[in-house]
Chain A
C-alpha cells in the first residue's frame, strides 16, 4: 500500500479567502489524532482579503507529521496544494523533487496567470511534469458538479474547494474521514446547507483518489511513539492563555488580563476574554500604554496582572515598565514578537525584541526576561513568569514569537495536581509595614495591598528611601536603590533551573545556542550531527535575565559556540558582553523560520 516515510510535510496554499488555514488545521488535528507527532506553520498575509489571485494575497498552512519527534514544520514539502497560479509561484520552490503537486487547473486561467506573472500555464510545462508528480485537476468544476443539487450560490459552493483538496490529501495518506467530518460538523453546526456541502465535497475529493484515471500515489507514515497520556493540540497563544489561568489557580491570586489588539498576540486576548467563566478579568484597553498602566494598578491591588502585545506595543509600554520597576510591582508582559521595526512584517516571525526587553527603558531598569521554546512550552513559561513575578515582586517580560504563537503541536495535558505551587510574597500584617522592607534572601519587597489595615503606603515613580519609601534625592540612597533593584533581579538566578545541554553532547567541539522558537530546528540539527558522529550539544536558554548561574560553565565546555537567532545577533551580543565569550553567529531575518539545511551547513563549516 504505497511508499512508507518517517515524516511528511504538506503545505496548503491559496488565496487568503480559500480556507487554507481551516484545511491545514483540520489536517493537522487529524494527523495528531492518528498518533503522529506534528509541527505546524501557518503563513498568512496581513491583508484579511487581499485581491484574489495576487501574489501578496497567498495564504499558506504547512504541517509536518511523522513517527519520529517532529521538531520543525519542515524545510521542504512533500505535498503541495496550490489553489491558483499565485500560490504555485510563491510556494513551488518549497516542493521537493518528486513531490506531489495538487493544483486546481480551473483557477489557472488567463487572468490569474497574469496576476501571478506567468507568461504561460506552468501546469502544461513538461519540465514541471518531469520534476514533480503533478495532479492538475479541474477542482472548481468537480466541486460544482458534486454540489449540483445544493441550494448554495456558486460563490458559496466554490468556497468549499478547500474541503475537496483536504479529502484528496486524506486519501493519499489513507486517513479516516470520520474525524474530519466531526470537526466540520462542529464548525458549521448552525449552517446546515454549508455543512452538507462541505461534507459532500470532502467525500468527493476523497473518493476521487479511487476513481481517477491518473494514478494518485498513496503514502504511508508510521505513527509516532509518543509518551502515554491524554493529548490535545495546542498553539503557543493557546498555551499562554491556559498557563495564565492555571497560574492564577495555583497561586490563589485573582487574574487581571488586559491587552490592546495586535498581531500576533490578539489570540491570547480572545482566549482570555472567553475564559471569564474561570473567574478571571480580561479586558481590552484603549492602547498599550493603558494596558500596562492598568496592569500596574491591578498589581498594586493584589492581582496577577498581565498584558500581551507585540514589538510596537512593547515600545509603547516602556515608560510604564519603568514605573513597574521603580514601584517594584509584579506585572507580566508577554511579547509575541514579529518582524520589525515599526509595522514591519506583522504576520512574519522574528526574534528581534530581546534587547528591547532587556534594555528598552530609561534609567537602570532591570527586570526578568524569559523566553519559551515551543508552542506548548508557553504554558509552563507563562506559569513561571507569574511565579517569579509574584515571588520576587518585580516585572517580568516573557518573549514568545509568531512562529510559536500560531504553530501547533500535540501536548500531553498535565495533571493539575502535579504542577508547582508557590506562595506569593504577600505582606502578612506582622509588625509595622514599610513599603521597601525586603526579604533578606531574595531582596523582594513585601507586597501589601490596599484594603489591608495599617499597611497604607504610597509608591510612585520618584526615587524612594530604602525601607521607608519616603521620597529621597539623597545621592547615596539613589545609588543604593539602583543596586538593590539590580541585585534583586540577579538573585532570581537562585530560583531558576540550572542550564542544561538540551540535546547531544555535554561537552565537545560545538555548542549550538539558541532561545525561543529556534528550539526545534537546533534540536533537529544537533540530533543529526550527533548521529553522524560529531561532538555537538544544543544549549537552549529560556532564562535570559538573569542567565542561569552555570551558563558560562556549560558554554565553555565546548570549543566553539554558535548562536542561532532570527535577528542580527542580540543574544550573541549579551553573551559576549556578559561572559567575554567569543561566539559565532547564525542570523536570519527573512520572516521565515531557519531551515535545518542551512543551519546544518553552517555548523558543519565550524566543525571542519
Chain B
C-alpha cells in the first residue's frame, strides 16, 4: 500500500460539504490544521476514520473526505473503540466537545483513556453549549451566568487535562485554536503517539462565549498568562521572559528570574515522561491574572495498546489450544453417540 501512495494536499481531505459553523468559529482553524496534519503525514483518505458525538464540533466528520460517523451524544469514544479493536490498520480520530466528552460521555471518555486505545481524541473546549444555544457546560467557570444558570452556576468546572491524566491517558496535551502552529505541532505528535492521545483544544465560541480564552490568546496578555511546556526545559514565561515556575513544598509557584538570567535552583523543568510532574503542572488552573496556564504536551509514555493486547491474547490462546476446528468446538468436551 505504502509504495502506491500519492502525496496529498490538505484540500484533498476536504469533503464537498460546505462547513456550517458560524462565521468566526474556532472550529474552522482546527479543521484546517487536522487536514494539514493528515496530508503532511501521508495518509490516504480511505485509511482514516473520524467519529464525533453531538455538538457543534461534532459536525466535523461531514467536512472530511475520509470515512466517518456522526454518532450520538457522548458515545463516540465507545464507538471508535469498537472500530479500532477490529481495525487496528485504520487511523481513528474522535472529535468531541466539553459537553459531549465531559458531561454525557464522561464514562466512555475515561474508559477509552484507561484502556489506551490507539486513537486521537480532540476535545474542542469552548466552555459552553453552543448547539443548544448557550447553556453552561462542565468546563464553564464557577458562577458563570448563562441561559440555564441565570443566577450563576453552583458547580466547579472540570480540568480536562487533570481528568485525562488521572484516567490513565498515555498522551495528554493542551493547545488553543488561535495558535495554529502550536496546534499543528501538537496534533502531529498526538497522531505519532501509539496509544490514546488526548488533546484539549481551547476553542472560541464567538456567539455564546466570545473571548472565553482571550486572556490566553490576546497577544499583549499572552506572555504573562501562558506557559508553553517543552520537554526537558525549564518553565519560563513573561513578557520579558523574566518569570519561571518553581517547586516549593511540593507546589508550583511563580518566581522572578534574576536580571543575570540565573534560574533558581528549584525551577520547574518539564518532563513529559513523569506522571507526577504532569499532574503537578496540570494543577495550574486558576484565574489567568493570577496563575499562568500551561499549554503543550503534559505527558507522553508508551504502553501496550488495548487492541494490541487483545491481539496478543488471541494469539496466545490459539497457541495454547492448538488448531480447533469449528466442528471440534461444537462437540465440546462431553459427547455421546446414539446408534
Task: Name A residues whose Cβ lies closer than 8 Å to a Cβ of B.
Answer: 29, 32-33, 35, 183, 186, 226-233, 242, 245-246, 249, 254, 256, 258, 275-281, 283, 285-287, 289-290, 293-303, 305, 319-320, 322-323, 327, 412-416, 450-462, 470-471
Contacts and interface: CB of A to CB of B under 8 A. Distances in A.
Given A451-B46, A456-B46, A230 B75 contact: no
Contacts of A245: 326, 329
Contacts of A231: 335-338
Given A296-B79, A302-B86, 16 more contacts: A186-B333, A227-B338, A230-B336, A232-B334, A277-B318, A283-B310, A285-B78, A286-B78, A286-B107, A286-B108, A287-B107, A290-B81, A297-B81, A320-B75, A456-B67, A457-B67
Contacts of B333: 186
Given A35-B338, A289-B75, A458 B61 contact: yes
B82 interface: yes
B85 A281 contact: yes
Contact of B329 (A242, A305, A320): A242
Given A287-B107, A294-B82, A470-B17, A451 B47 contact: yes
B78 A461 contact: no
Contacts of A456: 45-46, 65-67
Nearest to B73: A319
Contacts of B61: 458, 460
A293 B85 contact: no
A296 B320 contact: no
Given A29-B334, A460-B70, A301 B108 contact: no
B224 to A, nearest CB: 42
A276 B75 contact: no
Interface residues of B, number: 59
Interface of B: 15, 17, 44-47, 49-51, 54, 61-62, 64-72, 75, 78-87, 89-90, 107-108, 111, 310, 313-314, 317-318, 320-321, 324-327, 329-339
A195 to B, nearest CB: 18
B78 A297 contact: yes
A256 B85 contact: yes
B86 A462 contact: no
A492 B334 CA distance: 38
B329 A451 contact: no
Given A230-B337, A415-B327, A458-B68, A296 B47 contact: no
Nearest to A379: B330
B338 A289 contact: no
Contacts of A414: 330
A454 B85 CA distance: 23
A327 B67 CA distance: 13
A450 B329 contact: no
B86 A298 contact: yes
Given A254-B86, A290-B111, A454-B46, A229 B78 contact: no
A231 B337 CA distance: 6
26 contacts: A29-B334, A33-B336, A226-B338, A229-B338, A230-B331, A230-B336, A230-B337, A232-B334, A242-B329, A242-B330, A246-B326, A276-B317, A277-B318, A285-B111, A286-B107, A290-B78, A297-B84, A298-B85, A305-B82, A322-B72, A453-B44, A456-B46, A456-B66, A458-B50, A460-B71, A461-B70
Contacts of A471: 17, 62
A450 B335 CA distance: 43
Given A279-B314, A297-B51, A461 B71 contact: yes
A278 B324 contact: yes
Contacts of B66: 456
A277 B326 contact: no
A450 B326 contact: no
A230 B339 CA distance: 9
Contacts of B321: 277
A293 B79 contact: yes
Nearest to A285: B78
Contact of A294 (B15, B85, B327): B85
Contacts of A290: 75, 78, 81, 107-108, 111
A414 B327 CA distance: 8
B107 A301 contact: no
A234 B290 CA distance: 68
A297 B70 contact: no
B81 A450 contact: no
A299 B329 CA distance: 25
B67 A277 contact: no
Contacts of A281: 85-86, 310, 314
A287 B106 CA distance: 12
A19 B38 CA distance: 60
B81 A294 contact: yes
Contacts of A299: 82
